[in-house]
Structure 1
Amino acid sequence: MRLLFLHGAGGFIDDGPLAAALGDAVGLTPDMPRLPDDDMSFEAWATPIREHLSHLDADDLVIAHSFGASILLRVLAEGSAQFPRAHQRARVALLAMPDWSDAGWDVSDYAFHGPEPEMILSLHHCRDDEVVPFAHLWLHASRLPAARVWEYRSGGHQFTGLANRIAADAGSRSGVARARVFDGPPAFVGGQAIRGPSRRTIRPTSARTRCVTPCQDLSPGPTLAG
């Protein structure tokens, strides 16, 4: 088993401590390829990511952060034609992933429009993320109804102190339930307040779980840092 970690934009150095902490948590040395800083086009990042994914085994973990998560999601959506069936069983955690649709940062070159990948996906975001607005978590959750969704009161863009929680989720093969960590002020799902500290499991419904806390403020705008 191995851990493939994909850093964010310009984040090969900045994301190093996060990759190392996740590696320690799962007992693996992370494989973190250096993705280009000088060409931020989709294909410039997708091409090396496809190459690394082509070597995946079914038991491997893939964790991607920020901009790297955005590109990974689109690559995974290319489907089974790109990856052998065994790769579809790999577990994928997407951390602090920006939403590039017109509801988020509105950059069509990076926007995800589906289909939902077959891999076991989990989405993670901290409420105090200072780079990617927390509201982007629920924009993605609405398009990925099978994904597990984890929110954290604190940890920032680099998920400080949360490596063990992320690793525990990434190691799970359950893809049925939606889970959220509520360790802060009340959050709202479907108009109902859910208070922490607690952990609730929310199963997807036809209406899809959505965030109804104020999600209109999507500032700051797109920065490709981290």
Structure 2
Amino acid sequence: MKKEILFIHSAGPQGPDEGSSKLVAYLHTILDAAYQLRCPAMPEPENPRYEAWKEAIYRELGVPGGELILVAHSLGASVVLKYLSEEPCKRSITGLFLIAAPYWGKKGWEIDEFVLREDFVPKLPPIPKIFLYHSRDDEWVPFGHLARYAKKFPQATIRKINGSEHEFGNGLPEMVSDITSLSGHVIMNLN
């Protein structure tokens, strides 16, 4: 049976070669037939609202189903954390992979609808493995946001990526290795 991966994309345009689309295409190409990757379109990605994204995520996580691996990019990552800490999750999440997640509430990042509650971590469902990825010179979300999440998740695996990538259009081999390590699969060519 295929392992299910749910990918929640970033804000902004999501057409070919925009937003998370290149990263999703990379994952479709590199992950072998043992995985089923789904990337539902989030509502109005160029003008995202938490309530609308929450409803879309509920359709994926608020109904019973099997185990899944949850991958979320940029705004999608922060929205997933907010959802998981405030709403029911009826799926068992074997791994949570957060890429370039903004930490809302910091100076310059004060959009109330996306801010996490101070006590959000204990309200998350049980997730055995959490991974955080962020470029040291991210062009959109400052690297300091990673440090805030790292403090909240001391048990998480932190991947500090050299460079200025935010969209990871050429892929994220470190994440593929981490995903496959959960199930013991080996992917030979990650580039």
Q: Normalising TM by the smaller chain, what interval? A: 0.7 to 0.9
Q: Does the aligned pair in 1 maintain the 2:73–2:101 contact within 8 Å?
A: yes
Q: 1:22 — aligned with what?
A: 27
Q: Tell me which structure has the larger Cα radius of gyration.
A: 1
Aligned to 1:3, which of 2, 5, 8?
A: 5
Q: Does the aligned pair in 2 maintain the 1:63–1:93 contact within 8 Å?
A: yes
Q: 1:144 — aligned with what?
A: 153
Q: Does the aligned pair in 1 maintain the 2:70–2:93 contact within 8 Å?
A: no
> What's the Cα RMSD here?
2.3
Q: 2:141 — aligned with what?
A: 132
Indicate how the Cα distance of structure 1 residues 39 and 156 shifts in structure 2: closer, same or farther if over 3 A, else same: closer
Q: Does the aligned pair in 1 maintain the 2:22–2:171 contact within 8 Å?
A: no
Q: TM-score, normalised by structure 2?
A: 0.78
- TM-fit CA distance, 1:105: 1.3
What is the DSSP-based 3-state SS (H/G/I as helix, E as strand, rest coil) of the residue aligned with 1:19?
helix
After superposition, give the CA deviation of every residue in 1:34-68 in whole Å (9 maximum; x if it has no partner).
Answer: 1112652211101111211236522x221111011
Indicate how the Cα distance of structure 1 residues 31 and 55 shifts in structure 2: closer, same or farther if over 3 A, else same: farther
Indicate how the Cα distance of structure 1 residues 104 and 92 shifts in structure 2: closer, same or farther if over 3 A, else same: farther
1 or 2 for the larger relative contact order (CA 8 Å, sep ≥6)? 2
Structure 2 residues without counterparts, runs of 5 or longer: 184-191
After superposition, give the CA deviation of every residue in 1:79-136 in whole Å (9 maximum; x if it has no partner).
Answer: 6xx123xx33431101000010235612221112343222222110011210111111
Amino acid at match of 1:83: C
Indicate how the Cα distance of structure 1 residues 30 and 88 shifts in structure 2: closer, same or farther if over 3 A, else same: closer
Aligned to 1:69, which of 59, 72, 77?
A: 77
Q: 1:88 — aligned with what?
A: 92
> C-alpha separation between the residues in 2 aligned to 1:25 and 1:156?
19
Structure 1 residues without counterparts, runs of 5 or longer: 175-226
Q: Does the aligned pair in 1 maintain the 2:10–2:75 contact within 8 Å?
A: yes
Question: Could you list the runs of 4 or more consecutive aligned residues of structure 1 that deviate by over 4 angstroms after TM superposition?
Answer: none
- TM-fit CA distance, 1:78: 2.7
Amino acid at match of 1:32: C
Q: Does the aligned pair in 2 maintain the 1:12–1:35 contact within 8 Å?
A: no
Q: Does the aligned pair in 2 maintain the 1:131–1:157 contact within 8 Å?
A: yes
More helix by share: 2
